[in-house]
Structure 1
Amino acid sequence: MMSFPKLLRMLRLNAGLSLEELAGRVHYSRGHVHNVETGARAGTAEFAAAADHALEAGGLLEHQWRRDQAQQADGVLAGTMVTALRRSRDLAEMPGLEVDDLAADAADLAVQYLASPPGPMLADAHRVRQEVTGRLRQRHHRPGERRELYRAAGHLSGVLAYAALDLGHADAALEHCRAGWRCAEFAGDQELKVWVRGTQSLIARFQQDFTAAYDFIEDGLQHADGVAGTGLARLLCGRAQCLANLGDSGGANASLDAALDAREHARDTDALGGLFTFSTAKQLYYAGSALIWLPGAADNARAAREAEAAIGLWQQQPATERSLDDEHLAHVYLATARVQLGDVEGAAAAVDPVLSLPPEMQISWIVKRMDRLAGILAGPRYAGNGTARGTVEAIRAAAV
């Protein structure tokens, strides 16, 4: 059976009409008629009626147009039937993966992240979150499980945010945080909200937008009242980093002291470990990373003490609890504090373990902070110092 476009062309040619002539009779453009004949454009019922009248087809064109429409509808229905059948089989054969298993996967990834390169973690978190979001969209869950799915999606978004930031993609990290905040809202999880605001501040600090970073902290503090775990201490340490970068030594030290008090009086423990808890070592590390931005000797002396203490704690912990990226950064912060105190030899010794890291462990934070350390060592204060010059050369070589 000939299709409508082919029948139209045959009847036009049999009538001895050009495209231009037929177009004039049906009151459509030449291009429109050409597109219908070639199948590039679907003809309407009005066009079929006009062409049938112009070519004196006696209803043949209109009849064929209706047949084509019916066949197309049958094809769409058949395609839908096949797709629906495939989806039903998928659902019927879907493994009985419990929501608790997905939440456990998210918790495991949060812990694994501490000792793993960000690239593989990004891929693993994305894979698990796809499963979680698929369950949410398709409502493939039991009554009462939706909140836990949103919580798992929020935690996985947090892992993705950290991975993106460590890979140097701050804007992507902020988008993952935005998703994490939305999930926290749906789950009614204040603890996750506090964590997200702290991470958004961290990203803003990475971008050196300390005003925005401070605002994220202040908003997070509005949600921290009565929240269990270490979220309040993390926010206060983040505020100290903001204030130190803004030149407020007194405010930075006061915030660090307040964070110590918050840890001492923390209620219960964090819901998740790994990325979602703020260990004592991490708190010491934050103090060191904050105070190195201030010029005073007292600030840098405290920064050196806190960074060294953080390294010591991490080195005593099992691999599952060590945050290797942060431990490496603590060496850089210790070196920075020492060099600002005039101890070049001590700075070289502190940074030495970081110089041999493989490329996949050279996260964006390390690259940025090592570059600053090299800049201080290469400055006029240490001109002619062989140890300073050798350390700068080693830092430059490690960055290649």
Structure 2
Amino acid sequence: MADSDEIKTARRALGRRLAQLRKAAGHTQHGFARLVQYGRSSVANTETGHQHPDRAFWSCCDTVLQTGGVLAAEYDRIAELDRRRRRLSAIQGTTPTSRPVAPTHTSPDAPGADGGSVLWEREDSIDARRLALKSATDDDARLAYLENEVRRAIADNECLTPAVLMARLRPLRVYVDQLMAGRQHPPQRARLYTAAAHLSGLLGALALDLRAFRVAHAYAAEAFDLADAAEQPDVQAWARATQSLIAFYTGDYHDALAYAQDGLRRASASPHRLRLTINGQARALARLGDRYGVDRAVDRAFTMLSDHPSGSEVSASLTLGPYCPARTAANAATAYLALGSTAGVTDHLTTAITAFDAAALAGPRALCRLDLATAHLHADDPDPEQAATLAVEALTLTAQQRFESVHQRARQFLAAAQPFARHPRLRHVADMLADRTQVDATTPSALPSPS
């Protein structure tokens, strides 16, 4: 029985996807064949669509390439498509490549049996539509898998290194493209675009940590476009918050503020209003020197906290829900420090550090320690020794992870430490940061050498 054009196209696309993933993982066909325990010719023919191995092959490929099961899932989709095609052919009394078999007699119920015009559809047409409608359960399973993977990745964002998480998500982004090339019911399409928006936003944040700033902006813009296409204001607000974050750490403070304000306009009663206000508005306004605006934004943020349960759990940095008290306090402290104000900062940071230490989140723990170290330098009675100790702790906590936010905050701390440049512990902080960021030998140290 010949394959339909749709199935042939799908199988060729699956083969091409295998080739892309194999090459991205650095495997030759020969080396990959040994890993999956199939012949090299089988791998080559599968990648060109000339051979159609069973599910065990695709499952093995998923294991070797660490794709999370996307290849086997696509094999299942194609297999189900083939089964539906065969069932429909049986219903219609045809082979997939032949014309319908003419009936041997005319039923009194058949359309046009009385010689008049057709008043209703054939039963096989109705059955075909029913089969297509039932296929939505397959799409639901794929969408649930995608949504779960995105939520898990957002939760892992501050636990895994950006490079590791980026490698895990790249195949998932390819999977999203495949789903988008298909057909879903409108509610499923909205779910797909929502998950795709969250995935692109997360990839943007990871690109930021890897200092791929232009790529970060591109991913974040894509996240908003997807949310806009889905006509989901809550997702639009989340994407704007992510764009604001990336603009902030690339020094585009006016853009960071504009994205936050547009997100608030779209957010209505969304829980993202809290993140947009404290992480977006307050910090950008502080960098622009607007003390009054910062005061108002911080007050609004802490008022919003009362609208959400204040459980002890720390929210994710790219949370799909509201910011927690710890993140709100930490961002308020960062904003006031940027204005050169230390009033209340220590209390905010003590609250945040306690929560982040309990959650064992290295990035937030380091950022809060660097802010507290800066506060010690700005105090009426500066304590450079304690400040240096906190900065060393911060860089030690994140020694195995690359966070652009931590590196920028460390550089800001060292800029504030200029009056204490001769202090040996502060020199040690500067050396640690230089080692961490692999600064070029020609780049001057963050602190001048003592004369």
- TM-score normalised per structure 2: 0.62
Tell me the amino acid that sits aligned with residue 344 of structure 1. P
Deviation by residue 1:49-107 (Cα, 9 ceiling, x = unmatched): xxxxxxxxxxxxxxxxxxxxxxxxxxxxxxx8995483496553379653211111111
**1:208 matches 2:246:** no
Tell me the amino acid that sits aligned with residue 289 of structure 1. T
Residue 235 of structure 1, aligned match among 276, 284, 306: 276
Q: 1:369 is matched with which residue?
A: 409
Residue 116 of structure 1, aligned match among 154, 160, 167: 160
* Distance (whole Å) between structure 2 residues aligned to residue 177 and residue 203 of structure 1: 8
Equivalent residue runs for 1:309-348 within 5 Å: 309-317=351-359, 322=361, 324-341=362-379, 342-348=382-388
**1:107 matches 2:151:** yes
* Distance (whole Å) between structure 2 residues aligned to residue 358 and residue 114 of structure 1: 10
Contact 2:257/2:284 (<8 A) preserved:
yes
Residue 284 of structure 1, aligned match among 317, 326, 329: 329
Q: SS in structure 2 opposite 1:309?
A: helix
* Distance (whole Å) between structure 1 residues aligned to residue 219 and residue 435 of structure 2: 33
Q: 1:224 is matched with which residue?
A: 267
Tell me the amino acid that sits aligned with residue 274 of structure 2. A
Identity of aligned residues (%): 24
1:394 positional shift = 4.2
Equivalent residue runs for 1:40-79 within 5 Å: none
**1:382 matches 2:420:** yes
Contact 1:287/1:307 (<8 A) preserved:
no
* Distance (whole Å) between structure 2 residues aligned to residue 166 and residue 266 of structure 1: 30
1:261 positional shift = 0.7
What is the aligned residue count? 308
Residue 78 of structure 2, aligned match among 68, 92, 108: 92
* Distance (whole Å) between structure 1 residues aligned to residue 267 and residue 424 of structure 2: 49
Q: 1:5 is matched with which residue?
A: none
1:223 positional shift = 0.7
Q: 1:135 is matched with which residue?
A: 179
Q: SS in structure 2 opposite 1:114?
A: coil
* Distance (whole Å) between structure 1 residues aligned to residue 256 and residue 179 of structure 2: 34
* Distance (whole Å) between structure 2 residues aligned to residue 395 and residue 304 of structure 1: 24
Contact 1:112/1:274 (<8 A) preserved:
no
Q: As a proportion of its length, which structure holds more helix?
A: 1
**1:193 matches 2:193:** no
Contact 2:366/2:397 (<8 A) preserved:
no
- TM-score normalised per structure 1: 0.69
Unaligned runs of 5+ in 1: 1-79
Deviation by residue 1:309-365 (Cα, 9 ceiling, x = unmatched): 211111223x5xx4x322222211111122122221221222222232565513222
* Distance (whole Å) between structure 1 residues aligned to residue 245 and residue 384 of structure 2: 29
Q: 1:300 is matched with which residue?
A: 342
Unaligned runs of 5+ in 2: 14-51, 53-74, 82-137, 439-451
Q: SS in structure 1 opposite 2:344?
A: helix
Deviation by residue 1:239-268 (Cα, 9 ceiling, x = unmatched): 111111112223212211111112212499
* Distance (whole Å) between structure 1 residues aligned to residue 144 and residue 79 of structure 2: 19
Contact 1:150/1:183 (<8 A) preserved:
yes
Instruction: Give RMSD over aligned pairs.
Output: 2.9
Tell me the amino acid that sits aligned with residue 167 of structure 2. A
Contact 2:287/2:339 (<8 A) preserved:
yes
Q: 1:37 is matched with which residue?
A: none
Tell me the amino acid that sits aligned with residue 408 of structure 2. K
Contact 2:204/2:217 (<8 A) preserved:
yes
| Structure exhibiting the larger radius of gyration computed from Cα positions | 1
Q: 2:103 is matched with which residue?
A: none
**1:153 matches 2:196:** yes
